[in-house]
Amino acid sequence: MRILLTGPLYGAGGRETHFLHLSRLLVANGHEIVLACRYADRKTPLVQSCKELGMKCLSTPFDRLHESYRLSSAFAFVLWPFYLARYRVDIIITLEPHSRFLQFLSLFLQSSGYVLFLRAGLPTQPSEYISPAVLARLNGVLVETPLQAAASLTAHPKLPTRAIPLLGNIMPIIPSRKRRSNPVQETLCVAFLGRYDKKKGVHRLIEIWSKLNQPNVQLKFFGHGSEKSTLLDSITQKGLENHIEVNDGWTTSEELAGIMEKIDLLILPSEEEGFPVILMESMAYGVPFIATDVGAVRTYAEANPDVRVVPLDNSQIAMAIEEMVQAIRNGQIDGQRLQRYYQEHYAYEKLAAQWLDAIEHAEIWANKPHRAT
């Protein structure tokens, strides 16, 4: 099969990570991948891996500039058909169905092909609008959890929906989480991993940390994003330079594993989320987490004693940090138990099999193709 992946790529985020590992999975199973992006940050691991994976990459001279999105679209309209008309695709997986650009791409779909919308992020709102012309091109929606599937079906009841968590940046062989030798006296590391963005709660976390009284506990940030300089300024203004450390992010699963090995507790105080991949990755490496109860995050806490999902409230988050730090010191949090939870619910092999099935057998669950050549 020839599969086209399309949508903006902003760096090393959850959707971009998923596209990378999905591409590797599909290539390993004999499929041909075409990446077509009107905007793609060159630091995105998928963009950097195209040649290694043998993927065809359709780009434009303007695909690095947000402000030139229209120019990038115009370039694609003119030149991409020279390739797409000769090599029609069997499946289109898009991150952005709200654009008429999808109608353009679907002109180069095989008559038996399918257009699938990958809805990663906030659950669909009942009032969310997709134009009838674009909606008619979609054959199915892929979401991350049953909660998001229910929201999608409420908004678009005639559009088949399938729920599969995204693939994470996780090594094939994961070492068992080591127990701390003396957690009562050792300094613990609490960390934020992700994009430096206001909606991810990075400034909220600084505000919370300035009021916490937790001796022998460090806060470290690992990530990337436009809010990094503002974050550093806020730390300086509050006089927390000796208590908080801000680091760059990671690219490979090995780099992520190295970070996870150094931290004791992950915290994600987001104001909005879908089903964050970083929390799945945290469990894979046996690192407990605290996250705010937004989107479908609560799904991760079902029958899972080693994590906490709390209301989006500073005092509640602060109490959860104090509770989890004490639980870690008392040996009540079990990293290996958390890894078993990951294996039972989100093991890479299980999710990979589901993704392959959803794409290779779209005719079973998605609407029949709407167009003919």
Each residue's pLDDT tens digit, 222-236:
998 888 999 999 999
pLDDT in tens, 317-336: 999 999 999 999 999 999 99
Angstrom CA distances, 343 to 264, 346, 370, stand at: 20, 6, 39
Instruction: Write down the pLDDT at residue 370.
Output: 63
Is the separation of the CB atoms in 98 and 134 below 8 Å?
A: yes
Within the chain, which residue ranges are assigned CATH 3.40.50.2000?
2-163, 188-346
- Indicate the CATH number of 188-346 among 3.30.830.10, 3.40.50.2000, 3.40.50.720, 3.40.50.970: 3.40.50.2000
Question: What are the CB-based long-range contacts (under 8 Å, 24+) for 104-112?
Answer: 104/76, 104/77, 105/4, 105/6, 105/36, 106/137, 106/371, 108/81, 108/84, 109/369, 109/371, 110/373, 111/369, 111/371, 111/372, 111/373, 112/369
Task: Please give the pLDDT value at position 214.
Answer: 83
Q: Return the closest-CA partner of residue 155 out of 128, 181, 180, 173.
A: 128
Tallying the residues shown for the chain, one arrives at 373
pLDDT score of 372 more than 50: no
Q: What is the pLDDT at residue 373? A: 38
Of 3.40.50.2000, 3.90.230.10, 3.90.600.10, 3.40.190.10, the CATH number of 2-163 is 3.40.50.2000
Q: Which of 137-151, 241-255, 267-281 has the lowest mean pLDDT?
A: 241-255
CA-CA distances (angstroms) from residue 349 to 17, 276, 341, 346, 359?
16, 19, 14, 8, 16
Conformational region of residue 307, where left means phi above 0, alpha means psi within -120 to 50, and beta covers everything else: beta
Terminal C-alpha separation, the chain: 17
- Statement: residue 66 has pLDDT above 80: no
Q: Is residue 183 over pLDDT 80?
A: no
Does position 161 have pLDDT exceeding 90, yes or no? yes
**Taking a C-beta distance cutoff of 8 angstroms, is the pair 291, 268 a contact?**
yes
Looking at the chain, the whole-number percentage of residues with pLDDT higher than 70 is 99
Band (pLDDT 50/70/90 cuts) for residue 100 is confident
**Cα separation, 237 vs 207, whole angstroms:** 11
Average per-residue pLDDT for the chain: 92
Contact 8, 38 (CB under 8 A): yes
* Short-list 168, 282, 147, 172, CA closest to 222: 282
